[in-house]
Structure 1
């Protein structure tokens, strides 16, 4: 079965995958996400595939606090325009009949949303730092889609603020220095060993020169309750897991840190891959030596009606993708999008004064 038919037949958008690993020790019981007094104005975000699309959405919606974004195998803001058909065709495998959405049109939509207050004023994107990656062997989200994202960001961000790496023979995957499958492979585990540290490269571009990473991560994983960050306190109703994970370096218990939000792709949530993404994506060693908390929110799969059924909340997202085509809400790409609101709430909690 070719990639396109596979994606269409599995609810439309299977954009990234995962790797089975031993579970994190504290997963059994989630706690309240602690306050650490972080510097909210130093927030950054990155993601792969559906997580890349959400990273762009969050960056544009909250450009007032986000100073930079890393995007691996994603596409321009509001690319799908509330259409799963456009998501799986125009925004993944464009062709003459299904071209990549016009960037001029998407910029016009962005400006209108800003005027209405649905997103922050995109003038705040001007000085941001953006790092883009597309593998030459990626057959899932093809390079013309990432090229369109480059054009979109060029509409707002100064030229010197953008790096676009597109010359590595990588498949559709999170690219690492040592972990995962062969670089050009597209398939499980979708974490590829390309002798290239994408997490380190994007963090260095966003924050400037970094202290070399720790040999091994020495911080702790905090498993926290995500329900409290939903307006109805029902994470599952919005295809979010009951719990997410944050990586806390030891230094952040005694000094003011900043936060990087790292977003997994479809089929790369914890239910599918256990702790593979938040242990092997490559962020944690850099976090230890650069005063950086890494926030790893989590999705969950949905197959239609919510449980209990009498809530009549219907979400079709069996691959646990982030909402970048409107399966949960027509406002998914704005500050009113439920998933975006939830992540902003997590950031606000981390920014509260430490007890």
Structure 2
């Protein structure tokens, strides 16, 4: 059954089959067109479910100098998938295949930090991290979620791990429309009177005020093309519209920012405002001076379920600072505090310099990528040989993110 479920889920991570959804607009206000204006942001955090949880971890690791903590429902350790959909399916959701150990992924992170493609992992030390996995979750194996806890703890993060709930594969909220053990659209469950959202925010912020019974803020709908490299969201499997819930006090005073990333089958174009309406974040936003940013992925070839890129369907640079989706979300975060969108500078040598290194080192530095045990130059796709630490090759960057053999 679990293998069948994994095949149905492809590689992502939330949902095994789309079902009908009765949308509710009872809590969240109707969206109003706007832009991501400059607010007084005092701290930035990230949360997500499944593919959004993998993406939340990628953002927290790659931009650990920007994000101060993470809350993750059902996901695995940084770059578990290793740019391979089969690894994503059978090692990072199910566990039929061998996967990288937390220690190996930690060393990979250090190597990438040394190459400048992610921030120094020392930044993770002391960061609050809240993790959740339900006992009825057959989409992402418990052992994979355990690896994420180990990964964070080994880097010194302050981890709280809730793995005692009977929840299925879903975001869990006191107002979720689904039963606790369900794994079905819109992937927002209710588990009695428990409130994991309060637990998450309390750990991330230190304390949290009671949730509002009614909402007084506004839901801003903005054009994501402003923040996507190249200006075409569809080209990187992102939707045209994104959303931000802004409480009234945040329009004129200091506020925290929570970036919340949906899972597969949970994007706006399919389920509408389900996560924004029933995720129970806006209710806490109103009483805790918190803006909630809801970026949106969508479908494309290789991503029929609208997942965030955590296995390389859109770009081999998906877990790096230069990953297109990563760049887009960070541009949104920067815009919230008044900064202009930017493209991360390349961290490689000049276009005329050859770099000689093992093929493994080339991939960890973002100069190449690996498929089926073979290595290919980023951009040109030229074959470099076996992907290991013993086979070396010399390549140079002929244009930004475009590498060729010397």
- State if a TM-score over 0.5 links the two structures: yes
What is the CA distance between 1:162 and its match in structure 2? 0.8
Between 229-238 and 2-11, the greater mean CA deviation after superposition: 2-11
What is the CA distance between 1:285 and its match in structure 2? 0.8
Please state if 1:284 is matched with 2:285.
no
What is the CA distance between 1:114 and its match in structure 2? 0.4
Aligned equivalent of 2:23, options 21, 24, 32? 21
- The 5-angstrom pairing of residues 161-172 of structure 1 reads 161-172=158-169
- Cα 1:8–1:121 shift into 2, 3 Å: same
Q: Deviations over 1:272-311 (max 9, x none)?
A: 1110011111101111111100000001111x3xxxxxxx
Aligned equivalent of 1:341, options 321, 327, 340? 327
User: What is the aligned partner in structure 2 of residue 312 from structure 1?
Assistant: none
- The 5-angstrom pairing of residues 1-355 of structure 1 reads 2-9=1-8, 11-16=10-15, 19-22=21-24, 30-39=33-42, 42-95=43-96, 98-158=97-157, 161-194=158-191, 195-302=193-300, 304=301, 316-352=302-338
- TM-align CA RMSD: 1.8
Matched position secondary structure for 1:43: strand
Matched position secondary structure for 2:77: coil
CA distance in 1, matches of 2:70, 2:274: 22
Q: Which runs of 5+ in 1 are unaligned?
A: 305-315
**TM-score, length-scaled by structure 2:** 0.79
**TM-score, length-scaled by structure 1:** 0.89
- Cα 1:20–1:324 shift into 2, 3 Å: farther
Kept in 2: contact 1:213–1:288 (CA 8 A) = yes
What is the CA distance between 1:200 and its match in structure 2? 1.6
CA distance in 2, matches of 1:203, 1:89: 32
Q: Which has the larger radius of gyration?
A: 2
Runs of 4+ residues deviating >6 angstroms: none
Kept in 2: contact 1:123–1:156 (CA 8 A) = yes
Q: Deviations over 1:118-166 (max 9, x none)?
A: 11111010010000100011000111111111111111024xx110010
Matched position secondary structure for 2:222: strand
Q: Which runs of 5+ in 2 are unaligned?
A: 340-406
Kept in 1: contact 2:239–2:297 (CA 8 A) = yes
Structure number with higher relative contact order (C-alpha < 8 Å, ≥ 6 residues apart): 1
Matched position secondary structure for 1:224: strand
What is the CA distance between 1:25 and its match in structure 2? 6.8
